[in-house]
Amino acid sequence: MKPSVKAALWSALVFPGLGHIVALRRPLRGCLFLLPTALGWVYLLGGLLPLVNRLAEQVANGSLAPDPDLLAQRVGEAGMGGAGPGLALLVCTLCWVASVADSFVARAAPRP
């Protein structure tokens, strides 16, 4: 299998940029895709996980009705319904797609 195909599979199925690092031996180029994606996920998960846990606890103990509209309203009130999460998700998606596409055109680094 060609290194570019291996790189595209690593980047598509595992994490963007890993194909450049593992298969193409281009760590700096891989970090251009890996770091923004990782930061986007940290932002999303860092804000969403505590909120989801708090809302799930409130639904479980009966202090909050399991109404989707009410839950969406609470997410919006917590600041996770604005442009920030949407932008982070857009960055993650663009880096993922660009990493796979770039894997096909990038060449493996020459072995020393």
Weakly modelled stretches of the chain, pLDDT under 70: 81, 108-109, 111-112
The amino acid present at 38, given as its one-letter code, is A
Query: Residue 76: left (phi > 0), alpha (psi -120 to 50), or beta?
Result: alpha
Structure tokens at 43: 């932002």
Cut 0.85: pTM above it: no
**Positive or negative: CA dihedral 73, 36, 98, 103:** negative
Residue 24 has what pLDDT?
93
d(CA 59, CA 14): 34
Residue 25 has what pLDDT?
93
